Amino acid sequence: MRSLNWEIPYTEYLTSEIPAEYLPLIEEAKKQAMNAYAVYSNFHVGAALLLENGKIIGGNNQENSAYPSGLCAERTAVFYANSQYPDVAVKTIAIAAYTNGEYLKDPITPCGGCRQVLLETETRYGKNMKVILYGTDKIYVLDNVRQLLPFSFDKERL
């Protein structure tokens, strides 16, 4: 037997250090969070995708009284992008969350289901998708989705 570690590299920026190129995507994710339909949880999540063609696609969580029928912000954005631009890869995703009158101080991370969908999108196009996780105190930036989902399951495992 041996004990192993899995290291996940990411970059942490203070809000004052955020690279200018990330700001439009972060602002779109924040705007999308404000438009979320989150009447049950009051936890508003927004996602913004930068596509390879330069288009920015937004999405937000959509809740339903039959809880499993709702959809997360990341999946709302990805599924829309894939339906409207099926041949265009996603370069970057930014995610932000708002609750109790303010954006979260620490970066929000996608749920497991969204991580799997993001990985499928990255695999589909064969290109890494940068991930920007927003918080008011700091943001995390990952170079690809696989960093969010170690021990991942994809088409290579089928």
28 assigned to active site: no
Angstrom distances, CA of residue 102 to CA of 13, 77, 111, 143, 158: 20, 22, 20, 27, 42
- Express each pLDDT in 18-39 by its tens digit: 999 999 999 999 999 999 999 9
Catalytic residue among 74, 120, 122, 156: 74
Nearest C-alpha neighbor of 117 from the set 148, 139, 91, 143: 148
- What's the first-to-final CA gap in the chain, in angstroms? 27
Domains, the chain: 11-157 (3.40.140.10)
Q: What percent of the chain has pLDDT over 90?
A: 92
pLDDT band, very low/low/confident/very high, at 151 (cuts 50, 70, 90): confident
Task: Return the structure tokens found at 75.
Answer: 């999946």
